[in-house]
Amino acid sequence: MAVIKHNTSDIDLLARLMRAEAEGDGVQGMLLVGNVGVNRVRGDCLDFKDIRNINDMVFQSPGGFEATVKGYFYQRARESERRLARRTINGERFHPATNSLWFFRPEGSCPAQWYNQWNSGRFKSHCFYAPTQADCPTVF
């Protein structure tokens, strides 16, 4: 059962984002990016107030994704990424992005905090950051 509203275009858009942001980190890395995206739609908190759908989330500015800003969000969605996008839209969650709203790729190790949010873990090249339950209860 889907945890956020979506249509076919939304699945393609999320799949493209997952591919652009984390294809180099494999299937698990793309699923983690999908978790962050779905959490941002569900969140309605902090930097993500009034984000109501996948399109709003993908193209949020400021505060959006590097792929859409720096121009590598151009590859079409493949069926393999669409399947991954559906999994995250249907509520599958994966650590360390289970409740995360942010991720980034540092040059070295993950800082304990990033913009006042605590590190929830690292997967390959990306560090993930989650709000507290008090700050954003809808992602828990």
Q: What is the pLDDT of residue 63?
A: 79
The full DSSP string for 88-137 is HHTT---TTSTT-SEEE--SSSPPSEETTEEEEEEETTEEEEE--TTT-G
Q: Compute the distance between CA of residue 108 and CA of residue 35 in angstroms, rounded to an integer.
A: 23
Task: Extract the residue ranges of the chain whose pLDDT is less than 50.
Answer: none
Rounded Cα gap, residues 127 and 124, in angstroms: 8
Decide: 79 and 100 in contact? Cβ < 8 Å.
no
Tokens linked to 101: 């709203």
**Model confidence pLDDT, tens digit, residues 60-101:** 988 789 898 887 888 899 999 999 999 999 999 999 999 999
**Alpha-carbon span 25 to 105, nearest angstrom:** 11
CB-based contact 111:122 (threshold 8 Å): no
